[in-house]
Amino acid sequence: MMKRLLFSIVLIGTIVCLSTSCNNQKHITNFDKVESFKKDNECSIQIICDYLLKSEYDSVYINDANGQMYAGFEYIEIEDPTVNDCIKSLWKEKCKNISLITENNAITFRLGQTLIEGIEYGLAYPINDTSEIRVQFQTELIPLYNSEYYYYVSDYNEWRISN
């Protein structure tokens, strides 16, 4: 009986340690994924950023590659075929969402999300370089190598505790 209890405690402790170290490793891997995504799709990303910056809206959301964006409380057709092609290209590369939020000084490209933990990560581009970027529930913001872009992590649970 005592051996089983001791074995169970050791097993649970090992699982907790492994899951914690794997979780830390995941953030490092995600940084590399974002860096690679930016490098591989730089032209498409810049075309989309330029298009969004020229729009008249303070908040824009692109949630799929159907040729529409949500802005001004309505869905609006993206009539530029080059921009639509770039969006389709990014969706093939696992981009999940693109948003421009002027108040946060950021255009973001969400690349991943864990449903259980509520953590998302992606690429952020500053609208202007005189203000700080903010992403909702931001817990990490790290500049990418030799770039004006940033890797971000949003974790509601961690953000809630620290704020």
Q: Categorize the per-residue pLDDT at 21 as very low, low, confident or very high, splitting at 50, 70 and 90.
A: very low
Mean pLDDT, rounded, for 73-94: 95
- Looking at per-residue pLDDT, the higher value among 119 and 89 belongs to 89
- Residues 106-117: pLDDT tens digits? 999 999 887 667
Has residue 13 got a pLDDT over 70? no
Q: Categorize the per-residue pLDDT at 22 as very low, low, confident or very high, splitting at 50, 70 and 90.
A: very low
| Residue from 159, 112, 109 nearest 136 by CA | 159
CA dihedral 52, 53, 58, 59 (to 10 degrees): 30
Predicted pLDDT at 157: 78
Q: What is the identity of the amino acid at 129?
A: D
- Looking at per-residue pLDDT, the higher value among 100 and 130 belongs to 100
Could you tell me if 52 and 60 are in contact, meaning their C-beta atoms sit under 8 angstroms apart?
yes
Task: Name 150's Cβ contacts closer than 8 Å, sequence gap at least 6.
Answer: 123, 124, 125, 126, 133, 141, 142, 143, 144
Could you tell me if 95 and 86 are in contact, meaning their C-beta atoms sit under 8 angstroms apart?
no
Mean pLDDT, rounded, for 9-38: 64
18-22, 28-32, 113-117: least confidently modelled range: 18-22
- Residues 139-152: pLDDT tens digits? 888 999 888 999 99
Predicted pLDDT at 28: 53
- Average pLDDT of the chain is 84
CA dihedral over 81, 52, 62, 128, signed as positive or negative:
positive
Domain boundaries, the chain: 30-162
